[in-house]
Structure formats: C-alpha cells, structure tokens
Amino acid sequence: MEDLGVGIGWRSEIDLSVERMAGVDFVEVVAENLHTDHLPESLRVLRERGVPVLPHAVSLSLGGAEPLDTQRVEHLAAVARLVDAPLVSDHVCFVRAGGLDSGHLMPLPRTREALDVLVANVKTAQSIVDTPFALENIAALLEWPDAELTEARFLSELVERTDCLLLIDVANLYANARNLGTDPAAMLDELPLERLAYVHVAGGVEVNGVYHDTHAHAVPQEVLDVLGELCARRRPPGVLLERDDLYPTDAELAGELASIRDVLAAHA
C-alpha cells in the first residue's frame, strides 16, 4: 500500500476549507454523495493538484444476507473511475433487511455463516470495481448473541479469504471499548496490520452514559491514544480525519490534523 499521509473527509459544506488547508495529503469522499457524470469543482481542483481522492461507500450492505444491490456497487466503480481512485472502501456491516433501511451501519453476527455471506458479497463487489477494496470496522451499540469469532478474527479471515485491505477506525475501536467493553489493544494485537490501507479518526460525545461516534464533535484524546497504540505496532500508510457535522473553524480542523501528525511523529 502506497503512503497516503494525513487526510480529511471531503464534504461539500467544507469544500473550500479542505481546498485551502495546508497539509492535506489525501481526501475521502462519500461515494453515494457524488454523481458519476461530473465532479464538484473543489474535487476537480484537488485532483489537478494531484491529491488522491478515495471513494468511501456507506450503503453497499456487504454483510447483508439479501442479494447484493450491484447497482450501488456499479455507482462506486464509476465514482472510482471518475476520480482515478487508488482505493475504495465500505464497512463490515449490513444496512438493509426485510425491506427496511436502517440508514446506518448495523453490526453483523460474528458467525461462520455471516462471514461466508460477507466474503461472497465482497468477492462480487471486487469483481465489479477495478480498484483495491478496503473494509472498515464499525462502531456498534449492540451485539448479536452467540458470537463464534472475535471481531479481530472475523476481520482477519475476511482479509485472508478476499484479499481485501483493512480500514481501521480507531474512533470505532474506542467507541466499542466504551459501550461494549472491548479491548482496543488486544484487538490491534490480533489484526493483520500488514494489510492496513489507512486509519479513520473522528470525534464523538457521551450522552447518558453512551459514547456516540458522531463525527460532529472534537476528537477526544482517548481516540488519539488508540491511534498511538496502533502506530506503536505498525506505522499506518495513511490517517484520515472524519468530520460530518457541526463544522468547527478551519483553525480547529487544522489543529486536529496537527494532533494526528504529532501522534505519527511520536511513533516515527
């Protein structure tokens, strides 16, 4: 995996900020928010400057047991071609089932059967998209009963069987530690970090004892600490800040990118 550096999630609400900000080595776009016939001006400018643009999908429902919606995969493939992407990604989750759309990323049962379904769907998606695929761990507020595999084992086998890359979200590791009592360090020990594509960092907020990974609040020090744990094991090829709402000033965003660089420098 080539070195991506430090990046930020491109959103139309902060397009100028992202364009002007110093030290943005790469950006990520939510694939579903782009049309396949034209690029927003700001992304065109970034591409002209040589900044890599990585499409990130949120709706493929790759862990869903219903037939894969290949039109959504085709859209991702078209967006990847449009931005000449080195890599695309989606999540280890399901989104839709039984005619209902959750509008969010739902956890999978960590069973052999669920893994088989996910592997089959990822292979189908890989056959449609001519770009390397990375899959991301999600933050969950609930767990399925009767897990047969740890999350790290589940992800490791997914990587082995599909040859996909990993997009590790350290904010999600932190959220799961807070809400489900999981151990981020133990999970990082077990993950095949040599297959790491890049890392997500984001902020959240605690409400009534539950930590919500909102992407709308400042990045807590604890999330940067998990990033540090990861960097202590292996230097990530890239780290990307996700901010999706309640946008702060450009200076605050730049400050969060600087904090990420500090963590990377501390483990260089």
Cα dihedral sign, 196-197-202-204: negative
Among 29, 117, 191, 223, binds other proteins (CB under 8 A): 117
Q: d(Cα 52, Cα 120) in Å, to the nearest integer?
A: 29
Phi (first) and psi of residue 220, to 5 degrees: -70, 155
Residue 235 in the binding site for other proteins (CB under 8 A): no
Asked if residues 243 and 253 have their Cβ atoms less than 8 Å apart, the reply is: yes
Neighbours of 165 (CB within 10 A): 19
Nearest CB to other proteins, comparing residues 102 and 127? 102
Choices 82-90, 113-121, 169-177, 234-242 (CB under 8 A): range interacting with other proteins: 113-121
Nearest CB to other proteins, comparing residues 13 and 262? 13
Q: d(Cα 59, Cα 68) in Å, to the nearest integer?
A: 11
265 conformational bin, left if phi > 0, alpha if psi -120 to 50, beta if neither: alpha
Please give the helix or strand (H or E) that residue 149 lies within, else none.
Answer: none
Residue 15 in the binding site for other proteins (CB under 8 A): no
41-70: which residues touch other proteins (CB under 8 A)?
A: 64-66
Nearest CB to other proteins, comparing residues 186 and 210? 210
Nearest CB to other proteins, comparing residues 144 and 189? 144
For 101, the token pair is 């759309």
Among 47, 153, 161, 212, binds other proteins (CB under 8 A): 212
For 249, the token pair is 């000033």
Choices 93-101, 165-173, 218-226, 256-264 (CB under 8 A): range interacting with other proteins: 93-101
Nearest distance from residue 223's CB to other proteins, in Å? 19
Binding site for other proteins (CB under 8 A): 64-66, 94, 96-104, 106, 109, 111, 113-114, 117, 141-146, 210, 212, 245
